Amino acid sequence: MEKIRIGIVGYGNLGKSAELGIRQNKDMELTGIFSRRNPQDLQLQDEAIPVYHLDQAAQMTDQIDVMVLCGGSLSDLPVQGPALAGLFNTVDGFDTHAKIPEYFDAVNLKAIQANKTCIIASGWDPGMFSLNRIYAEAILPVGETYTFWGEGVSQGHSDAIRRIDGVLDAKQYTIPVPEAIEAVQNGSLPKLTTREKHRRVCYVVADQGADRQRIEQTIKTMPNYFADYDTDVHFVSEDDLNRDHAGLPHGGLVIRYGQTGSNNDHSHTIEYRLKLDSNPDFTANVLLAYARAAYRMNRDGQFGAKTVADVAPAYLSAKSAVEIRQQLI
Amino acid sequence: MEKIRIGIVGYGNLGKSAELGIRQNKDMELTGIFSRRNPQDLQLQDEAIPVYHLDQAAQMTDQIDVMVLCGGSLSDLPVQGPALAGLFNTVDGFDTHAKIPEYFDAVNLKAIQANKTCIIASGWDPGMFSLNRIYAEAILPVGETYTFWGEGVSQGHSDAIRRIDGVLDAKQYTIPVPEAIEAVQNGSLPKLTTREKHRRVCYVVADQGADRQRIEQTIKTMPNYFADYDTDVHFVSEDDLNRDHAGLPHGGLVIRYGQTGSNNDHSHTIEYRLKLDSNPDFTANVLLAYARAAYRMNRDGQFGAKTVADVAPAYLSAKSAVEIRQQLI
């Protein structure tokens, strides 16, 4: 079997999960890990995998079919995405929703010039949740779509707490409000405020002499991150945090409630729900399925930046068109 | 706005729902209803809509962009599908899973010859459930997919009961077994028999002198339809049936349970769940979204038979690519 040769750029949580995910896909092989760090400093899960400095990538365009970009959306991808789109087919999980159009245009420009196929904003939100919003709205044009996140760890919110003076470590859980989900399912088409949709629970390890009241107050009033939510703060020991909150679970739910019939007398709900033990493992696996798609779309001459909206589902499957029709349709 | 001109072939439950569904899509207009019956005999919901005999369709290829085929999979579509694929872009809900490959080939041959785009086996199963099986398996290659149907009315099973001597009318509900769904959600990867996944509940109106015990026995032992299930049979009056069981609700659930990590130590579930007040309304709306896709794919030169696996999600949306990226990704 001809294998798709994958490169991974960035070796944080997502890159590590991508390394493991490739082992689950028999039609893929991992050519190497690319990092801005000194290659000697990376401890790989499989030591047989070569590690390269990112600067070496430009000399390896004939050895890699798709680069899976595992850097962050804040500072890594805005630079790496367009740069690597000029050299490779790529897939990434760019997740700053408001900047997706701008990022798309930057990647598209380079990908078109280089005849490459670059799928951006993949993962689960954006990604699988986006797909479900698109499908559900197309099927039920009269209706309303709601997205809930959690229960799960928000790394951005955990980081925000860690930056507070006197905080040694922290984990933040985003929790959807059950009453809000029920209201949507029951068809009451609620107008939900930020506070009504989700609440936030924080586990914080404070420095010994730190003023816990000040820390709690700083968290609960932090603009954008916590001020608009009901937030619980629990102080725990470092041991407790490591024992009870070591994982990165996440998940969520997209629901569309819609109506049909001559007087909108028939109600329908479409629900798409994820429960994930490991957010990076799942996200990496989505990226790898879209890496397969990028490789095949490129072979089919579909160049430029793409989102999940532009990718026919069959491109993601390891099965042939005939097998899909026999086994999955 | 340029409107997509739709024709509907067949005016049973699905055709009637398609007539209503078109009103929800601002970029579509209904050119006419086509039937094998005498056009004068059809009572339309909107009397302003022209009704034609199906034989007239061949003279109207320049007036219709997409034909929505609303006939049955048993005898209508195997004939109409290939015949109309030689004249129009089409979309249908062909749902005999085992015969999809054969039907695909027959439609494909005619569609390719005529430069038409024909999306077959759309709807919700096959259709949206197929999509979710494809996506979920591609994302979680190590795992298992389960499909549950119901709670809802199976028209095929209701018809089978009605054919029994002494039965005046009947409604059959397919009900998924909650314990089976829980076992899947809990990751026990159960091997489920037909009986363990679903049960069947029948409401039967019997002729006055009919032998109810014989009817009940005939239902419960009917091969393929009931023999492999736990089946409840309730005899009710015609009034009760019309009052309590007039609707055609349905729904169901696709779940994939999968594992990731170096030792498959992380579990994930992907669930796609539908709750539908009206099976034909929802199915018709899916067909209409795919009618939009067939029209656009044809404009883009993508000819031949297609399934939902071959259709990029953006083709279904009334929104532009830019709007999708801004609002839905």
Chain A residue nearest residue B123, CA to CA: A139
In angstroms, the first-to-last Cα distance of chain B is 25
Q: Cα dihedral angle (B238, B244, B248, B249), rounded to 10 degrees?
A: -160
A317 within a domain of the structure (yes/no): yes
Q: Does A270 touch chain B (CB under 8 A)?
A: yes
Three-class SS state of B234: strand
- pLDDT for B252 beyond 80: yes
Asked if B30 and B113 sit in the same domain, the reply is yes
The last residue of one of the domains, among A260, A278, A296, is A278
Number of domains into which chain A is organized? 2
A17 within a domain of the structure (yes/no): yes
The boundaries of the domain holding residue B250 are 128-278
Asked if B195 and B229 sit in the same domain, the reply is yes
Contacts of A184 (CB under 8 A, 6+ apart): A144, A146, A190, A255, A257, A269
B329 within a domain of the structure (yes/no): no
On chain B, the residues whose CB falls within 8 A of the CB of A137 are 317, 328
User: Span A212-219, mean pLDDT?
Assistant: 98
What sign does the CA torsion over B93, B98, B102, B108 have?
positive
Report chain A's mean pLDDT, rounded to a whole number: 97
Asked if A159 and A88 sit in the same domain, the reply is no
Asked if B92 and B207 sit in the same domain, the reply is no
Asked if B54 and B151 sit in the same domain, the reply is no
What integer pLDDT is reported at residue A1 of this predicted model?
A: 74
Across the interface, of B271, B272, B289, the residue whose CB is closest to A138 is B289
pLDDT, tens only, A162-209: 999 999 999 999 999 999 999 999 999 999 999 999 999 999 999 999
On chain A, the residues whose CB falls within 8 A of the CB of B121 are 329
B248 within a domain of the structure (yes/no): yes
What integer pLDDT is reported at residue B321 of this predicted model?
A: 97
Q: Does B141 touch chain A (CB under 8 A)?
A: yes
What's the gap between Cα B234 and its chain centre? 27
B233 within a domain of the structure (yes/no): yes
- pLDDT for A245 beyond 80: yes
Across the interface, of A140, A268, A328, the residue whose CB is closest to B133 is A328
Q: Cα dihedral angle (A50, A56, A61, A66), rounded to 10 degrees?
A: 60
Tracing tokens 């801005």 back to the chain, one arrives at: A36
C-alpha–C-alpha distance, residues B267 and A154, integer Å: 19
pLDDT, tens only, A63-97: 999 999 999 999 999 999 999 999 999 999 999 99
Asked if A88 and A13 sit in the same domain, the reply is yes
User: Span B80-91, mean pLDDT?
Assistant: 98
Three-class SS state of B135: helix
Q: Does B269 touch chain A (CB under 8 A)?
A: yes
A287 within a domain of the structure (yes/no): yes
A329 within a domain of the structure (yes/no): no
Across the interface, of B121, B325, B326, the residue whose CB is closest to A329 is B121
Taking phi first (over 0 means left), then psi (-120 to 50 degrees means alpha), and beta for anything else, what does residue B53 get? beta
Of A202, A187, A175, A203, which Cα lies nearest the Cα of A146? A187
A139 within a domain of the structure (yes/no): yes
What integer pLDDT is reported at residue B1 of this predicted model?
A: 74
Distances (CA, A) of B140 to A13, A38, B104, B132, B137: 18, 32, 28, 12, 5
Q: What pTM was computed for the model?
A: 0.97
Asked if A285 and A268 sit in the same domain, the reply is no
Asked if A57 and A134 sit in the same domain, the reply is no
Across the interface, of A267, A286, A324, the residue whose CB is closest to B139 is A286
C-alpha–C-alpha distance, residues A212 and B176, integer Å: 51
Asked if A115 and A252 sit in the same domain, the reply is no
Q: Does A147 touch chain B (CB under 8 A)?
A: no
User: Span B3-17, mean pLDDT?
Assistant: 97
CATH of the domain at B191: 3.30.360.10
Asked if B259 and B141 sit in the same domain, the reply is yes
Asked if A288 and A213 sit in the same domain, the reply is no
Asked if A145 and A254 sit in the same domain, the reply is yes
Three-class SS state of A248: strand
CATH of the domain at B291: 3.40.50.720
Nearest Cα of chain B lies from the Cα of A256 at a distance, in angstroms, of: 10
What integer pLDDT is reported at residue B2 of this predicted model?
A: 86
